[in-house]
Amino acid sequence: MSETPRLQLAHVTKRYPGVVANDGVDLSVQPGEIHAVLGENGAGKSTLMKIIYGAVQPDDGQMLWNGKQVKVASPHEARRLGIGMVFQHFSLFETLTVAENIALVLDEKFDLAALSARVTEVSERYGLPIDPQRLVHGLSVGERQRVEIVRCLLQNPQLLILDEPTSVLTPQAVQKLFETLRRLASEGVSILYISHKLHEIQSLCDGATVMRGGKVTGTAIPRDETPSSLARMMIGRDLPVCVSPPFTGDARLVFSVDKLSATTDDPFGTQLHDIDLQLHAGEIVGIAGISGNGQAELLAALSGELPVQAEMIKLEGKAIGHLRAGKRRDAGLCFVPEERLGRGAVPAMSLTENTILTAHRKGLKQHGLLKLNAAREFALRCIERFDVRCSGPAAAARSLSGGNLQKFIVGREIMQAPKVMIVAQPTWGVDVGAAAFLRQTLIDLSRQGVAILVVSEELDELFEICDRIAVLAQGRLSAALIKAHTNAESIGLQMSGLAATQQKQEEPADALA
């Protein structure tokens, strides 16, 4: 391969009012190299990637592409050069189909039917199946991520930027993706890989650049490091370790779901079939599963967005299945959705205003009028208690990094003293330090007597914090097993449906025996 770097950044700087997002950043990526960019949320990684992709213009510094100085004025120019990017926060039009979204970024002429066939072929080849005719608004977060990745692969990039690409994949799918990335690298494609999963970085990446506070603080060869040493380079201290006191197992039943079945208006949605679930005081139960297997429908039913028959869901023995979300919150059920911006928080609204959205029932209103000073104090206490790094209660939600916004949303719900807390994807796209903080926060909350349900596609996370784990596949929920009685491989097989296939194949032999 050529010794000329595919990409070079020299002294790249980007300033915003009150903050220097990138401060004299140097970066070099060779053809065929898989290069990691490590750092906490807010370290400047996303801004740097947007500069490379032409979505943000730097204030100083230069960029060399295959040895020639270039100025990437727009994402269109970046794609013309051969740069593709999958953003952590997706850039898809919800009212268009998968194929139509992909067509928007293609420069050549196309036939939509032929393009749909290409989408199907490429997505299946790379282990990221997606129906090109589905409307994006009906896709889960994981399915939208697949669309973004496939969209980039269809452009035959020379440099592929991936931001948290495995956050919603099973272990088996992760290995399939890694095979794909290694094959692309062997063909000369350079890959910039952003992930907070340090074991993935070690397994996949050839080199790494570490950022902290907008500056490059070091470089490393990941395979020569340990997760602990990489974490120290990222956050400047040892990686926090979650401490989980054992669950006694004899606590009272707080929340139960009995034979919950539900249909969906989305023609591509997943019907729920006879869901049974029990949550006890002080217990964390995890639900694993690949996106699109009924998670969105289950969360809608449990949170109150999709009312069901009253007796299907009970809180402290009282039927609440027929109640809407607000009434369930009044009864003591709090909910953290997987989509932070847009559902967990309104992007343009301040943290104070976002506090009011769900916590108004906690002393923030009187005689039908909002108590704005009380809301501001509530937001300030949340910021201080949960170490939310921002400019204060007046900061807009969209100005926070993903990890800090998640800490605020989770903290806002915890401060409402819930009896039951349902959390979807609690640490999706969150750095290792913030993820450890959030996981420990949920453990501590559970041991205070709160029943917690965690829906996550991060198997490591579920095994770290949960007492029991169930799997949701094709709208059916398995029995929740004590985590010591199962393992990640078994759960991964159930998530992908392979366990059921293997069981069916073994049944004839068992019958003969």
Set out the domains of the chain in order of their start, with CATH numbers.
7-235 (3.40.50.300), 253-504 (3.40.50.300)
Q: Quick one: which of 362, 359, 415, 363 has its CA closest to 386? A: 415
Task: Report the SS3 class of residue 222.
Answer: helix
Q: Indicate the helix (H) or strand (E) that contains 229.
A: helix 227-235
Q: What's the token pair of residue 479?
A: 């029995």
Q: In the sheet that 34-38 helps form, which strands lie side by side, from edge to edge?
A: 83-86, 159-163, 190-194, 34-38, 207-212, 215-220
Q: Quick one: which of 63, 65, 39, 69 has its CA closest to 219? A: 39
Q: How far is CA 386 from CA 41, 308, 329, 343, 409, in A?
A: 15, 35, 22, 20, 10
d(CA 261, CA 23): 54
Phi/psi at 228 (5° precision): -65, -45
Evaluate whether 422 touches 335 at the Cβ level (below 8 Å). Answer: yes
Q: Per-residue confidence of the chain (513 residues) as pLDDT tens digits?
A: 458 999 999 999 999 887 899 999 999 999 999 999 998 877 888 899 999 999 999 999 999 999 999 999 999 899 999 999 887 667 789 899 999 999 988 877 778 999 999 999 988 887 778 999 999 887 776 678 788 888 888 888 999 999 877 766 666 667 878 888 898 899 899 999 998 888 889 999 999 999 988 999 999 999 999 888 888 888 777 777 788 888 876 779 999 999 999 988 877 788 999 999 999 999 999 999 877 789 999 999 999 999 999 999 999 999 999 999 999 999 999 999 988 888 899 999 999 999 999 999 988 888 888 899 999 999 999 999 998 988 899 999 988 877 889 999 999 999 999 999 999 989 876 777 788 889 999 999 999 999 999 998 888 889 999 999 999 998 999 999 999 898 888 888 888 765 543 444 444 433 333
d(CA 293, CA 285): 18
Q: What's the token pair of residue 124?
A: 């299946």
- Give me the residues paired with residue 369 across strands: 366
Q: What's the token pair of residue 277?
A: 């679930």
Task: Report the SS3 class of residue 98.
Answer: helix
Evaluate whether 33 touches 190 at the Cβ level (below 8 Å). Answer: yes
Residue with tokens 């589905």: 134
d(CA 291, CA 469): 17
- Give me the residues paired with residue 219 across strands: 209
Evaluate whether 304 touches 327 at the Cβ level (below 8 Å). Answer: yes
Phi/psi at 430 (5° precision): -105, 140
Q: What's the token pair of residue 203?
A: 């397994």
pLDDT of residue 509: 38
DSSP classification of residue 247: P
